[in-house]
Structure 1
Amino acid sequence: MFFSSRPTTHRRALAAAGTAVALALTAVACGSSDDSASMPGMEHMATDKGLSDAQDGYRLTSSQRSLVAGKQADYRFTVTGPDGKPVTGFAVDQTKRMHFYAIRSDLTGFQHIHPAMAADGTWSAGLAALTPGEWRMFASFTPNTGSGKGKDFVLSRSVTAPGRATRTPLPAAAGSTRVDGYTVTVKGEPMAGMAHPLTVSVAKDGEPVTDLQPYLDTYAHLTAFHEGDAAFAHLHPTTKVNGNHGGPDLSFHAELPTAGNWRLFLQFRTGGTLHTAALTLRVG
């Protein structure tokens, strides 16, 4: 499985859609000119970040409705502005002008990519091999010109990876998980619609880790997706970066709008290697 996400200074957690929308997401064909309109209920979500391909005149467009499963592939897309023309001016956020995420509908696949933009405004995201099934592609950006200047956007479209898809049940909520020999523990009991602090601790072989290296101007990048509809939320880091000796405890500001299970993906770097830990968090 391949993983990869992003903290934004002003991004709020994205609203999650209802169960009916989630069921439709896994069954609907993708890639219409207005991806949100092709899904029941999505036509009412134009202002909800994450689960729509358009907001405030900005639109995520792509001609790709499917990607070959089991092989590396490039997903090409464009962001158009209120004038209908491709946007080419983007502000740098966490050292990047565009943060791109791919998430499988059952939340078992996750990638975080920083794509490259051509002169005409076409972005190309190099994806690791996708497993068969429904995926959602998220583009997170901030225009530095036009009516949306300085505003954070998260737009998305759905894509199919053809083949025999097996849906994997979401792992039960747990306070800790292991990845690459590291134990990651999350402490906190967030309530839906309320700001709440979370603390993430990193240990190895039972000893606290204190050599975390900066990654995208932070010691850890924490992204969450809601079970059922794959709605996106970013949990903002509040721990200050001070050289290559972060940890063991990292603080985050969590504001998850909807109750239920959220799948958290935490990225951190040690010894030049990027690790991604995943666990399920229950929000009351």
Structure 2
Amino acid sequence: MFASSRFTVRRRALAAATTTAALALTLAACGTSGGSSMPGMDHGTKASVSSSASASPSMGDMPGMDHTASGNGLSDSMGGYRLTSQGATLPAGTQAAYRFAIAGPDGKPVTGFALDQTKRLHFYAIRSDLTGFQHIHPTMTADGTWSADLASLAPGTWRMFASFTPDSGPGKGKDFVLSRTVGVPGTATKTPLPPAANSAEVDGYTVTVQGEPMAGMAHPLTVTVTKDGKPVTDLQPYLDTYAHVTAFHEGDEAFAHLHPATKVDGDHGGPELSFHAELPVSGNWRLFLQFQRAGKLHTAALTLRVG
């Protein structure tokens, strides 16, 4: 009886460890430049400056409350590294620069970053209702201060993500995604998240996503790009890939990047692109898929339901 009980305990412990490991979310730095045709992308497929967030952000959304957040890119610190910024607000309705730095374990600004998909740091901005998506490659001065030039922001609470890999120090070779929230003053109105769908249209293109991911499990997704009902077969490489998908979880804005699996071979991408999806929790995820053709960057958005 004692041996049987001990075996049962071991089996339960192993099952618990396996479940915990399966819930790990892969965070990676991958981005697009400010050249997107949709710098102020809303829930739909057109740019929108007027869309806005909830009138009264919750305490968890308030600027300055970031340090208590944890996991999925929702914390301003991890592994001794911290995202710092003096600005807690940005103006509405106009272009603005968000300035920040990455402090290392020694408290000093980090100035050495490894290239990831041709860039040293990738920067994302998303509003609390998952509208206004922007994906930027900021510039850094010699003292380690980064500047991300944001397109016009609608009133509400925004979360700013920095994705990077140190090329020296204790975090060398490790991927980090840190974030802080910023308030944009003005009258704010929440835009409801569109219902889950397997396709979206942008700039005359139709993007279709096939696959049914389950929370905490690695799952393949296939993205198909067409235009006027015809397959697109001449997508261009962008940041060493034909397309990439950034995802944000409804409710807490948790960040995830879906890794591209399609091999790059010149300007011959499409119509089908493969991605590796590993989303840690169930619910609605807002996907932003970006691809390039004929030198122009396009951004499509859709809501994916994860079971």
TM-score range, shorter chain: 0.7 to 0.9
Q: C-alpha separation between the residues in 1 aligned to 2:281 and 2:85?
A: 29
The Cα offsets for residues 192-226 of structure 1, whole Å up to 9 and x where unpaired, read as 00000000000000000001011110000100000
Give the match's secondary structure for 2:196: coil
2:242 maps to 1:219: yes
Q: Is the 8 A contact 2:27 2:176 kept in 1?
A: no
Q: Is the 8 A contact 2:245 2:259 kept in 1?
A: yes
The size of the alignment, in residue pairs, is 256
Give the match's secondary structure for 1:279: strand
Give the match's secondary structure for 1:36: helix
The 5-angstrom pairing of residues 264-283 of structure 1 reads 264-283=287-306
Q: C-alpha separation between the residues in 2 aligned to 1:167 and 1:262?
A: 17
Letter in structure 1 aligned against 2:88: R
- Residue in 1 that maps onto 2:26: 12
1:133 pairs, out of 132, 156, 163, with 156
- Residue in 2 that maps onto 1:244: 267
1:26 pairs, out of 57, 79, 84, with 57
Q: Which has the larger radius of gyration?
A: 2
2:106 maps to 1:83: yes
Alignment identity in percent?
73
- Residue in 2 that maps onto 1:6: none
The 5-angstrom pairing of residues 47-196 of structure 1 reads 48-196=71-219
2:257 maps to 1:234: yes
Q: C-alpha separation between the residues in 2 aligned to 1:259 and 1:30?
A: 25
Give the match's secondary structure for 1:64: coil
- Residue in 2 that maps onto 1:259: 282
The Cα offsets for residues 148-172 of structure 1, whole Å up to 9 and x where unpaired, read as 0000000000001110011000000
Q: C-alpha separation between the residues in 2 aligned to 1:96 and 1:78?
A: 16
Q: Is the 8 A contact 1:143 1:149 kept in 2?
A: yes
Gaps of 5+ in 2: 1-24, 29-53
Give the match's secondary structure for 2:57: helix
Give the match's secondary structure for 1:217: coil
TM-score (norm. length: structure 1): 0.88
Q: C-alpha separation between the residues in 2 aligned to 1:36 and 1:75?
A: 18
Root-mean-square deviation over aligned CA pairs: 1.5
Q: CA deviation at 1:36?
A: 2.2
